[in-house]
Amino acid sequence: MVDSYGRVIDYLRISVTDRCNERCLYCLPEGYKGWAQKADHLTAEEILHVARAAAQMGFRKFRLTGGEPTLRGDLLEIAAGLGALPDREMLGLSTNGLRLDRMAADLRAAGVTSINLSLDAVDPAVYRRITGGDVRAVLRGLDAALAVGFRQVKLNCVLMRHVNEQEIPALLALAADRRVPVRFIELMPLSRTDVLQPENFLSVEEVRDRLAAEGGLETLPDARLGAGPARYFRHRASGAVVGFIGALTAEDFCVTCNKLRLTADGKIRPCLGRHQEMDLLADLRSGRGEVRAALEEAIARKPEDHEFRTCYTPERPMTAIGG
């Protein structure tokens, strides 16, 4: 499926819940009350119905996300259904890792091929301040994921000046030690939270320049790994593979966008950085709507680029959209 700007759209990110067991500074506004009703969450069968329609149209990459996807009781059933899709190339899971220790082997057996592990700090106090969680459990999850042999495991760190910039060396050391890439991601204006202030914004360019000045960054021959927009280098001093996701500052960020998002409450969202969504839930439940037609329409409506730099104001928080 090719959109109006010539981009091949073959990647569906599926949020299975808006609930989370962490409270990240940039994701959930304090006192958030907008949780979806349980009954409004798509069932496993509804999710798989949408995914099968997408696969028939040529979608080859799928990612489970949330909220925190590991909170969903039937996650393994959903993963197994996605794992069985014909011609699927990738089935990823984005997780904070708190439950990964217990679930890694079952997720791998269900067909999940790659894990994106959110890790904004290695220091327990800094990690707790950002997320409310326990980094030791996350590190156990990381090691469990590595032990069961996922095809790819990546660390994701959202950059915040004055909050976790001092953690960058420790994250690089961890990435080098565990031989996994670490990606630095720019803070996006996705939820109305206190941390979304210009003084907390730290661009990937600034971090890239710092690392380049320190020990040098070597461009990897295949500068893009996986299905996303990160560009990769080797950090010579630590040996770590490091990726940069300039969601706000990279002018060409959307040129290679290949995604649609399915929210936990059944909306198709063509672009993370624009509010437009199309409701699939009623169609799915009435049995009247054509999922394929809805996906085609979402692709046709996919904008050329996001509005983060111009006129975007946070509405639905990231936890409800799906990361």
Interatomic CA distance for residues 96 and 118, integer angstroms: 5
> Which residue sits closest to ligand SAM, CB atoms considered?
323
For residue 21, the tally of other CB atoms under 10 A from its CB is 15
Nearest-approach distance from CB 160 to ligand SAM, in angstroms:
9
Nearest to 233 by CA among 157, 172, 158: 172
Nearest-approach distance from CB 3 to ligand SAM, in angstroms:
23
Residue 155 one-letter amino acid: L
Residue with tokens 């959209």: 321
Q: Which is nearer to ligand SAM, 230 or 294 (CB)?
A: 230
Q: Which is nearer to ligand SAM, 68 or 265 (CB)?
A: 68
Nearest to 117 by CA among 140, 150, 93: 93
Nearest-approach distance from CB 168 to ligand SAM, in angstroms:
15
Nearest-approach distance from CB 38 to ligand SAM, in angstroms:
18
DSSP output for 143-202: HHHHHHT-SEEEEEEEE-TTTTGGGHHHHHHHHHHHT--EEEEE----S--TT-SGGG--
Interatomic CA distance for residues 28 and 314, integer angstroms: 11
Nearest-approach distance from CB 259 to ligand SAM, in angstroms:
13
DSSP state of 229: S
Q: Which is nearer to ligand SAM, 9 or 160 (CB)?
A: 160
Q: Which is nearer to ligand SAM, 110 or 188 (CB)?
A: 188
Q: Which is nearer to ligand SAM, 50 or 190 (CB)?
A: 190
Q: Which tokens sit at 19?
A: 């609930």
Nearest-approach distance from CB 185 to ligand SAM, in angstroms:
5
Positions touching ligand SAM (CB under 6 A) are 20, 26-27, 65-66, 68, 94-96, 118, 156, 158, 185, 187-188, 190-191, 318-319, 323
Nearest-approach distance from CB 120 to ligand SAM, in angstroms:
7
Q: Which is nearer to ligand SAM, 96 or 263 (CB)?
A: 96
Residues contacting residue 31 through CB under 8 Å, at least 6 positions apart: none
Q: Which is nearer to ligand SAM, 53 or 240 (CB)?
A: 240
Q: Give yes or no for a contact between 44 and 76, defined as CB atoms under 8 angstroms apart.
A: no
